[in-house]
Chain A
């Protein structure tokens, strides 16, 4: 699985080159469609789109620094149960990791999907992406964002910064993909390496008949990127810990939450059909509200906001991939991702679990091990 093919870039336009790669895949008989971000109406936010007509790939912009939603949930819809046809999906590393978690929970399948991962240079929050575009043609803006070399010298984007999640993401290179477009370290005016990372990817790549390509410094660039991001992540976690350590601090942190549940809807690993917060368990009676209010003299409404976040942490912090869609979706700019990643760092560490790392690792709460946490339970033995 060591094949690296060379994807030639014409006219200094790597986006068109990748479109060509996808067209090649789509023309392969075994693939019925491609899920990829597409600029509709030639402008604005690129939305995940299932393309079956190769001609319509001209709007595809997998390199846009926009991340309107985590497509893992969409891919789950496309692969749950009988799919019929094989598709290819162009995903960010955090989308692949979230999808792997969903597959573990029987919410999708990797059987009939070819995952095309692209080294991720990060993206803007939805609102910031608009500022970044500043009326430009979106493809031009994408090319300007990447500059000449993948992973270095990011141009100034009119004062907007990459999303907090992306700045602290230590996984810029995709894991568990079939094909990887190695953006990092590549000369974007010349050629992009396409790596096969599975037997299936290898077969597809060979069928495309691209020339081979040698080492181009991708590993080094990734290493430098991971270093910067890890430092950023650690500082972010420390800062978040400092302001959420007590119930009072946490209440203040979340004080603007209006229980719109946008963060839950946006979260790729909150997988329930009906979230417990929508069930009658949380339908309180008027006299209950009165009782609570009387006990303390007042009752902040809506109730259950802290409880909601704590519950969600209990349910999915083990699977949180740090994609930041929760923060992206919050209408009140609550740094939800920061809080969840901070908690997840601890819960995941205690089980040595990295969500999305491997399909063979079951979610820790789905298995029972008698010899776990002996220091905590040994007094009961």
Chain B
């Protein structure tokens, strides 16, 4: 029986109709083989547009539908659902794109119209070979895993725990809090970071629905939305968390010292350490790479001084497996290492600091006890703050780190406040970006405190007569400047966490061009990813300040809760399928499958797809020479017919253009 295909050409207001002769394309489509009706309409996605399809399915007995409009990423689901409401299997619809792929990218209206005709013909030829497909419903496991316990991961965990679901929170460092735990004050309100984050950290440790695993990392993820199996590597802490009271006796007696990461290398810590007195958990950790007992079997002092006997040098790493319905990634960012920007002298001049180092200098429990002083212990008389180091710079990161202007203002204020109002503070900036709530007001306040702003990216920092000199141009005044200062702070870019690529691999998600995790849609899907059931929270998705990171995290948590609350999820049927009569059992596809979704059936000597795990990526189908492995809805017949249509191979001349009503009337083919 011949197909009865309905074709709908959308104007998208003037987005498409401005370039493409939509009525002409509909007229053309009505002449293609098997097309029963072809129409154009202003907004196909609107209610009347969708109703038009549903009505035609019923009145014209359509068994296939083609919609030519925007990208399928935007509205394929919309039109699939419309078809379903009209009683047609949603997979009997083909959505083709004549906006992003055509009207927006083609200058000449004649060419755009011709191109639209090809695209529509391809879709018509393809849809004729579509078959009915049915989604499956699977149960969603109730627990959620959150990875990374910076402020974003903490917020997400607390939100999810509040909904009554169990959270497994995995943090790779020995304590939680992330970067925020390193700060003393936060912009724009200047409230003390510890005062607002410590209660949240404590809440995490006390919340019965949160199972916290610090000093741990996720090493393997398998499964699919609703049913993830996650393997967590618990690194040996060498201190038994259940027995340790956090008294800290060991911390003082340990004789071995090394540079403190938490203090950004500005001070030393012991081999057994914790980041700060407020650390959650308060249990210390032994750095096995330097501990004398573990490396050389000497010392052993901490074990002797520990009153509860919590020290255990024989601890081994262990792997624990968790079954969760969804995953929230909150692995944060790292600050860029400014050493490659040799012109700014970081690492060469002792008084050049990174912004995070300055945060530690300023922190009440930091290396100087919160005193802003130079290495010689004296107060700086003048400070230069260089903005956008590694940000908005084609050589490093093109993007804006979105926080540097604001924390530079915070530093301005803190220096004036703590070191003295006579301290001269110079900001070297490109633009001041103070877009958040209360940010512009904060900028004004700092300006009024007598801070100097020089517009222009400095060329270099040099040393002259024992003083640092910032050399650059004031682009507003149009003159070169040489500013002598005692101390220089580099506002280094926020960049993807150093382990981001590995995290992306383990969780099967993508990174954007900038290296941050790629969200599903830049505007409409900022917390979900292309992998169902894996959500993003905070700065792992892109630079953010704390308010934005927290809001984003609550968004990620809401997605995870929504999944868990419904308890069911429908799985797309567009997976791969291997025809056992054609498969020769070469096993190549098994290794190529990034989701480990293919198994080998030794008895029949063929490969078999696990449809629950297959994401329909097509790696197997792309290789399999005989076409035994093919993706449903993207099979070879469908694709070849689409190509034929694109090449105008199946063209049958349209009815004579003398019929001016052709576009509006169902063109019976």
Contact = CB atoms under 8 A, between A and B. Distances in A.
A281 B129 CA distance: 11
B637 A281 contact: yes
Contacts of B648: 295
A107 interface: yes
A359 B215 CA distance: 42
B582 A105 contact: no
A77 B649 CA distance: 42
A81 B591 CA distance: 20
Contacts of B581: 273-274
A244 B587 CA distance: 34
Contacts of A107: 584, 586
Contacts of A134: none
A294 B648 CA distance: 11
Interface string A330-374: 000000000000000000000000000000000101111000000
A271 B586 contact: yes
A41 interface: no
Given A279-B626, A291-B651, A367 B591 contact: yes
Contacts of A105: 584, 586-588
Interface in B75-93: none
A81 B605 contact: yes
Given A280-B637, A281-B636, A292-B649, A106 B586 contact: yes
Given A81-B605, A105-B588, A363-B588, A274 B651 contact: no
B134 interface: no
A368 B649 CA distance: 35
Given A106-B586, A275-B626, A291 B652 contact: yes
Contacts of A295: 648-649, 651
| Majority secondary structure, B binding face | loop
B649 A276 contact: no
A162 interface: no
A272 interface: yes
A11 interface: no
B585 interface: yes
Interface string B508-529: 0000010000000000000000
Nearest to B600: A106
B625 interface: yes
B650 interface: yes
B360 interface: no
A250 interface: no
A273 B627 contact: no
Given A280-B637, A363-B588, A366-B591, A274 B649 contact: no
A43 interface: no
Contact of A274 (B582, B619, B637): B582
B583 interface: yes
B625 A316 contact: yes
B649 A288 contact: yes
B623 interface: yes
A108 to B, nearest CB: 11
B625 A315 contact: yes
B591 to A, nearest CB: 6
A350 to B, nearest CB: 17
B653 to A, nearest CB: 9
Contacts of B584: 105, 107, 271-273
B609 to A, nearest CB: 17
Interface residues of B, number: 29
Contacts of B640: 281
Contacts of A106: 585-587
B583 A273 contact: yes
B626 A365 contact: no
Contacts of B591: 366-367
Interface string A276-297: 1001110000011001101100
B644 interface: yes
Interface string A250-271: 0000000000000000000001
A287 B33 contact: yes
Contacts of B583: 273
Interface in B545-591: 581-588, 591
B625 A366 contact: no
Nearest to A271: B584
Contacts of A316: 625
Contacts of A294: 651
B651 A366 contact: no
Interface in B617-667: 619, 623, 625-628, 636-637, 640, 644, 648-652
Nearest to A282: B640
B592 interface: yes
| Of B636, B644, B650, B651, most A-chain CB atoms within 10 Å | B650
Given A106-B586, A368-B592, A276 B625 contact: yes
A288 B33 CA distance: 11
A96 B669 CA distance: 59
A363 B652 CA distance: 44
Interface in B467-509: none
Chain A CB within 10 Å — which of B582, B594, B652 has the most?
B582
Given A106-B587, A272-B584, A274-B581, A288 B644 contact: yes
A291 B648 CA distance: 9
Nearest to B644: A288
A107 B588 CA distance: 11
A291 B32 CA distance: 11
Contacts of B627: 276, 279, 281
A303 B581 CA distance: 26
A274 B626 contact: yes
B582 A366 contact: no
A309 B412 CA distance: 71
Contact of A273 (B513, B587, B594, B626): B626
A279 B586 contact: no
Most buried by A among B584, B592, B637: B584
A160 to B, nearest CB: 35
Contacts of A287: 33
Nearest to A380: B513
Nearest to A275: B626
Contacts of A368: 592, 594, 619
B625 A279 contact: no
A105 B619 CA distance: 17
A273 B623 contact: no
Given A279-B626, A281-B627, A273 B582 contact: yes
A316 B628 CA distance: 16
Nearest to B606: A273
Nearest to A365: B623
A39 B517 CA distance: 67
A292 B625 CA distance: 26
A281 B582 CA distance: 13
Given A107-B584, A295-B648, A276 B626 contact: yes
Interface string A83-112: 000000000000000000000011100000
A271 B626 CA distance: 9
Interface in B530-546: none
A92 B581 CA distance: 32
Nearest to B647: A295
A365 to B, nearest CB: 6
Contacts of A272: 582, 584, 625-626
Interface in B330-386: none
23 contacts: A81-B605, A105-B584, A106-B585, A106-B586, A107-B584, A272-B625, A272-B626, A273-B581, A274-B581, A276-B626, A279-B627, A279-B636, A281-B627, A281-B637, A287-B33, A288-B649, A291-B650, A295-B648, A295-B649, A316-B625, A363-B588, A366-B591, A368-B594
Q: Which 3 A-B pairs have the closest CB atoms?
A: A272-B626, A315-B625, A105-B586
Interface of B: 33, 513, 581-588, 591-592, 594, 605, 619, 623, 625-628, 636-637, 640, 644, 648-652
Given A105-B584, A281-B636, 13 more contacts: A106-B585, A273-B582, A274-B581, A274-B626, A276-B627, A279-B582, A279-B626, A281-B627, A281-B637, A287-B33, A291-B650, A316-B625, A368-B592
